[in-house]
Amino acid sequence: MSTTVATKAPPLERGQSPARRAVRRFLRHKLAVAGLVVVLSFILIAALAPWIAPYDPIATSWSNIRKPPSALHWFGTDENGRDVLSRLIWGARASLMAGVISVLGAVLIGVPIGLLAGLAGGWVDATISRIADAMLSVPFLILAIALAAFLGPALENAMIAIAITASPVFVRLARGMALDAKSTDWVEASRALGNPPWRIAFVHVLPNIIPPLLVQSTLAIAEAIIAEASLSFLGLGQQPPAPSWGSMLNSAQRFLDGAPWLAIAPGAAIFIVVLAFNLVGDGLRDALDPRADRR
């Protein structure tokens, strides 16, 4: 009787993992796929900068100061005669690195702390949550500026500052998701099976909260790119003469009337990348919707 219950599948057929189903749903989302293509091309451009940039990004040329876009210099030249396109390509490195690495840092700081708070509960949770709340009560950019100023002006320090500033969001998210997961039957089941607490956290809870973390991360990358551009704009990020989109905007503001292309190029780059990351984030949110995955 009981052996006749399951007769659907051919022998040892591999099931469809939740991750594969999510990928399929993501691919149906046209805007998100477009966003992903844009993001990947920018990453490719940043990685291949030394080979595809037409000019040296920091080589000055006194005969080519603030020239409008032309066949030789597609996006024109800046106040020191440097090729804007080349600086844009090299600047993509700083911006994307700042975005991805600082968010990675924020995840690595925030998620374990959030898991600890959610799963341990009690005074541990209260202490961690209050600290995170306190950090979140200060506007993102103000805190990042304060930290970056404290650490000293450099791209690495700007990234550290952004990582620390962005981490409370991940603490809160991981804590909330861990609290949710803690009350599920399968986490109780894992306790009943004899799993030690660290295994419950990393084997049972963490994989199940990755979807919202991934969505939050892509959105945070967009935010971090803006933050890096802002810090560089204020002189706290990438230091001259090395290019970054923020510092390019900074120097462009003095010539908005005479040479608007100096501002338009990095501004458009920031706009497009941030939009692309947001589209990817939205697509991921739909694709990873736990309600779509439940059954």
Q: Which residues bind another protein (CB under 8 A)?
A: 1-3, 5-7, 9-18, 184-186, 188-196, 199, 204, 207-208, 293-295
Nearer to another protein, 186 or 271 (CB): 186
Q: How far is the CB of 29 from another protein (least distance, A)?
A: 21
In DSSP terms, 77 is beta-bridged to 83
Q: How far is the CB of 240 from another protein (least distance, A)?
A: 48
C-alpha–C-alpha distance, residues 34 and 10, integer Å: 37
Nearer to another protein, 96 or 174 (CB): 174
C-alpha–C-alpha distance, residues 206 and 185, integer Å: 15
C-alpha–C-alpha distance, residues 111 and 124, integer Å: 15
Nearer to another protein, 14 or 71 (CB): 14
Q: How far is the CB of 103 from another protein (least distance, A)?
A: 23
Q: Is the dihedral of CA 44, 49, 51, 55 positive or negative?
A: positive
C-alpha–C-alpha distance, residues 68 and 261, integer Å: 7
- Residue for token pair 């990393």: 202
Nearer to another protein, 71 or 295 (CB): 295
Q: How far is the CB of 127 from another protein (least distance, A)?
A: 16
Nearer to another protein, 162 or 187 (CB): 187
| Closest by Cα among 52, 60, 231, 62 to 149 | 231
C-alpha–C-alpha distance, residues 178 and 69, integer Å: 53
Q: How far is the CB of 213 from another protein (least distance, A)?
A: 14
Does residue 68 have a cis peptide bond before it, meaning omega lies within 30 degrees of 0? no
